[in-house]
Amino acid sequence: MDTYTYRIGENLYLNLTNRCSNRCTFCVRKGKETYEGHALWLKREPSAEEVIAEIGDASRYSEVVFCGFGEPTYRLDAMLQICDHVHGTGGKTRLNTNGHGSLINGFDIAPLLRGHLDGVNISLNAPTREEYDKICRPVHREGYAALLDFARALRREGVNCWFSVVDFIGEEKVALSRALAEEVGIPLRVREMIE
Ligand code: SF4
Protein backbone atom coordinates (compact mmCIF):
# COMPACT_ATOMS: atom_id res chain seq x y z
CA MET A 1 0.00 0.00 0.00
CA ASP A 2 1.25 3.51 -0.83
CA THR A 3 2.65 5.59 2.02
CA TYR A 4 1.49 9.19 1.87
CA THR A 5 2.54 10.21 5.38
CA TYR A 6 5.14 8.71 7.71
CA ARG A 7 6.50 9.63 11.08
CA ILE A 8 10.17 9.97 11.98
CA GLY A 9 10.84 11.23 15.49
CA GLU A 10 8.57 14.14 16.30
CA ASN A 11 7.95 15.06 12.65
CA LEU A 12 5.42 13.90 10.11
CA TYR A 13 6.73 13.56 6.56
CA LEU A 14 4.52 13.83 3.49
CA ASN A 15 5.08 11.93 0.28
CA LEU A 16 3.11 13.54 -2.54
CA THR A 17 4.95 12.40 -5.66
CA ASN A 18 7.70 10.27 -7.15
CA ARG A 19 8.42 12.87 -9.80
CA CYS A 20 11.72 14.71 -9.63
CA SER A 21 13.62 17.07 -11.91
CA ASN A 22 16.97 15.74 -10.69
CA ARG A 23 18.62 12.34 -10.83
CA CYS A 24 21.07 12.74 -7.95
CA THR A 25 23.83 10.17 -7.72
CA PHE A 26 23.28 9.95 -3.94
CA CYS A 27 19.45 9.86 -3.96
CA VAL A 28 18.05 7.60 -1.22
CA ARG A 29 15.46 6.25 -3.64
CA LYS A 30 18.02 4.97 -6.13
CA GLY A 31 17.23 1.33 -6.71
CA LYS A 32 14.93 1.30 -3.66
CA GLU A 33 11.22 1.55 -3.07
CA THR A 34 11.46 2.09 0.67
CA TYR A 35 13.09 4.53 3.09
CA GLU A 36 13.44 3.89 6.84
CA GLY A 37 11.06 0.97 6.39
CA HIS A 38 8.36 3.03 4.62
CA ALA A 39 7.22 2.03 1.13
CA LEU A 40 7.50 5.41 -0.57
CA TRP A 41 7.41 4.58 -4.26
CA LEU A 42 3.85 5.64 -5.12
CA LYS A 43 1.61 3.80 -7.53
CA ARG A 44 -0.73 6.81 -7.42
CA GLU A 45 -0.27 10.38 -6.21
CA PRO A 46 -2.61 11.18 -3.31
CA SER A 47 -5.15 13.99 -3.34
CA ALA A 48 -4.76 16.83 -0.84
CA GLU A 49 -7.88 15.54 0.93
CA GLU A 50 -6.40 12.07 1.42
CA VAL A 51 -3.23 13.52 2.94
CA ILE A 52 -5.17 15.95 5.13
CA ALA A 53 -7.26 13.05 6.47
CA GLU A 54 -4.07 11.21 7.45
CA ILE A 55 -2.53 14.27 9.10
CA GLY A 56 -5.51 15.08 11.30
CA ASP A 57 -4.47 17.35 14.15
CA ALA A 58 -1.10 18.74 13.02
CA SER A 59 -0.29 20.19 16.44
CA ARG A 60 0.72 16.62 17.45
CA TYR A 61 3.91 17.03 15.42
CA SER A 62 6.91 19.35 15.71
CA GLU A 63 6.80 19.88 11.96
CA VAL A 64 4.90 18.58 8.98
CA VAL A 65 7.51 18.21 6.23
CA PHE A 66 6.94 18.02 2.47
CA CYS A 67 9.67 15.64 1.50
CA GLY A 68 8.89 12.24 0.12
CA PHE A 69 10.52 10.34 -2.66
CA GLY A 70 10.18 13.12 -5.25
CA GLU A 71 10.08 16.90 -5.56
CA PRO A 72 6.99 18.20 -3.70
CA THR A 73 6.58 21.37 -5.79
CA TYR A 74 5.27 19.23 -8.66
CA ARG A 75 2.17 19.14 -6.42
CA LEU A 76 2.05 22.88 -5.70
CA ASP A 77 -1.74 23.23 -5.38
CA ALA A 78 -2.08 20.21 -3.10
CA MET A 79 0.85 21.42 -1.05
CA LEU A 80 -0.71 24.83 -0.44
CA GLN A 81 -4.03 23.26 0.49
CA ILE A 82 -2.30 20.95 2.96
CA CYS A 83 -0.33 23.88 4.44
CA ASP A 84 -3.63 25.66 5.17
CA HIS A 85 -4.87 22.58 7.00
CA VAL A 86 -1.65 22.21 9.00
CA HIS A 87 -1.72 25.86 10.06
CA GLY A 88 -5.44 25.62 10.75
CA THR A 89 -4.81 22.89 13.30
CA GLY A 90 -1.86 24.61 14.93
CA GLY A 91 1.02 22.86 13.14
CA LYS A 92 4.16 24.03 11.40
CA THR A 93 5.18 23.36 7.80
CA ARG A 94 8.52 22.80 6.10
CA LEU A 95 9.41 22.09 2.50
CA ASN A 96 12.47 20.10 1.50
CA THR A 97 13.05 20.99 -2.13
CA ASN A 98 15.57 20.84 -4.93
CA GLY A 99 14.75 24.50 -5.65
CA HIS A 100 13.31 23.88 -9.12
CA GLY A 101 9.71 24.73 -8.14
CA SER A 102 9.42 27.89 -10.24
CA LEU A 103 11.06 26.17 -13.21
CA ILE A 104 8.73 23.16 -12.86
CA ASN A 105 5.57 25.27 -12.56
CA GLY A 106 6.57 27.84 -15.15
CA PHE A 107 6.18 30.90 -12.90
CA ASP A 108 7.68 32.39 -9.74
CA ILE A 109 6.05 30.38 -6.94
CA ALA A 110 7.87 32.21 -4.11
CA PRO A 111 5.01 34.67 -3.38
CA LEU A 112 2.62 31.72 -2.96
CA LEU A 113 4.91 30.05 -0.46
CA ARG A 114 5.02 33.10 1.80
CA GLY A 115 2.65 32.47 4.68
CA HIS A 116 2.24 28.81 3.73
CA LEU A 117 5.66 27.48 4.64
CA ASP A 118 7.42 28.12 7.95
CA GLY A 119 10.72 26.87 6.57
CA VAL A 120 12.17 25.91 3.20
CA ASN A 121 15.25 23.74 2.90
CA ILE A 122 16.80 24.11 -0.55
CA SER A 123 19.28 21.38 -1.46
CA LEU A 124 22.20 23.27 -2.96
CA ASN A 125 24.45 20.22 -3.07
CA ALA A 126 27.29 21.96 -4.91
CA PRO A 127 28.88 25.44 -5.13
CA THR A 128 29.10 25.54 -8.93
CA ARG A 129 26.88 24.61 -11.83
CA GLU A 130 29.47 22.17 -13.18
CA GLU A 131 29.60 20.26 -9.89
CA TYR A 132 25.83 20.39 -9.50
CA ASP A 133 25.24 19.00 -12.97
CA LYS A 134 27.65 16.16 -12.21
CA ILE A 135 26.10 15.23 -8.85
CA CYS A 136 22.42 16.06 -9.39
CA ARG A 137 22.10 15.46 -13.13
CA PRO A 138 19.16 17.89 -13.57
CA VAL A 139 16.61 17.16 -16.26
CA HIS A 140 16.57 20.89 -17.19
CA ARG A 141 19.81 22.52 -18.31
CA GLU A 142 18.96 25.65 -16.33
CA GLY A 143 18.31 23.70 -13.09
CA TYR A 144 21.14 25.25 -11.07
CA ALA A 145 20.40 28.83 -12.14
CA ALA A 146 16.71 28.24 -11.35
CA LEU A 147 17.63 26.99 -7.88
CA LEU A 148 19.63 30.14 -7.14
CA ASP A 149 16.84 32.37 -8.51
CA PHE A 150 14.32 30.51 -6.36
CA ALA A 151 16.42 31.11 -3.23
CA ARG A 152 16.73 34.82 -4.04
CA ALA A 153 12.99 35.06 -4.65
CA LEU A 154 12.19 33.38 -1.32
CA ARG A 155 14.56 35.73 0.48
CA ARG A 156 12.90 38.69 -1.22
CA GLU A 157 9.51 37.41 -0.06
CA GLY A 158 10.79 37.08 3.49
CA VAL A 159 10.30 33.30 3.58
CA ASN A 160 12.52 31.53 6.15
CA CYS A 161 14.84 29.48 3.94
CA TRP A 162 18.34 28.04 3.85
CA PHE A 163 20.60 26.05 1.59
CA SER A 164 21.79 22.61 2.54
CA VAL A 165 24.74 20.55 1.37
CA VAL A 166 25.71 17.02 2.26
CA ASP A 167 29.04 16.73 4.10
CA PHE A 168 30.48 14.20 1.63
CA ILE A 169 31.23 17.00 -0.88
CA GLY A 170 34.28 17.91 1.29
CA GLU A 171 35.42 20.91 3.30
CA GLU A 172 36.57 23.00 0.37
CA LYS A 173 33.24 22.78 -1.44
CA VAL A 174 31.36 23.34 1.81
CA ALA A 175 33.33 26.58 2.26
CA LEU A 176 32.53 27.66 -1.32
CA SER A 177 28.87 26.80 -0.73
CA ARG A 178 28.91 28.93 2.41
CA ALA A 179 30.29 31.86 0.43
CA LEU A 180 27.60 31.41 -2.21
CA ALA A 181 24.88 31.25 0.46
CA GLU A 182 26.22 34.50 1.93
CA GLU A 183 26.09 36.10 -1.50
CA VAL A 184 22.46 35.02 -1.90
CA GLY A 185 21.78 36.18 1.65
CA ILE A 186 20.54 32.97 3.29
CA PRO A 187 22.17 30.50 5.74
CA LEU A 188 23.84 27.21 4.82
CA ARG A 189 23.27 23.99 6.73
CA VAL A 190 25.56 21.01 6.35
CA ARG A 191 23.80 17.62 6.53
CA GLU A 192 25.28 14.21 7.16
CA MET A 193 25.17 11.74 4.30
CA ILE A 194 22.31 9.23 4.68
CA GLU A 195 23.39 5.69 3.82
S1 SF4 B 1 16.43 16.07 -5.72
FE2 SF4 B 1 16.04 14.69 -3.99
S3 SF4 B 1 14.44 13.25 -4.73
FE4 SF4 B 1 15.31 14.29 -6.53
S5 SF4 B 1 16.88 12.88 -7.27
FE6 SF4 B 1 17.89 14.39 -5.90
S7 SF4 B 1 17.90 13.46 -3.87
FE8 SF4 B 1 16.44 12.29 -5.14
Q: Which domains does the chain have, with CATH numbers?
A: 5-191 (3.20.20.70)
> Which residue's CA is the closest to the ligand 1 atom numbered 6?
24
DSSP SS3 for 134: helix
| Pocket of ligand 1 from Cβ distances under 6 Å | 20, 22-24, 27, 29, 70-71, 98, 123, 136
Torsion sign over Cα 32, 124, 147, 158: positive
Residue 136 CA: which ligand 1 atom is closest? 6
CB atoms < 10 A from the CB of 105, how many? 14
Rounded mean pLDDT of 123-129? 96
Nearest atom in ligand 1 to the alpha carbon of residue 21 is 4
Find the range with the poorest average confidence among 79-83, 99-103, 113-117, 169-173.
169-173
98 C-alpha to ligand 1 centroid (Å):
7
Q: Is the pTM of this model over 0.85?
A: yes
- CA of residue 159 to ligand 1 center, whole Å: 22
Query: What pLDDT is attached to residue 105?
Result: 98
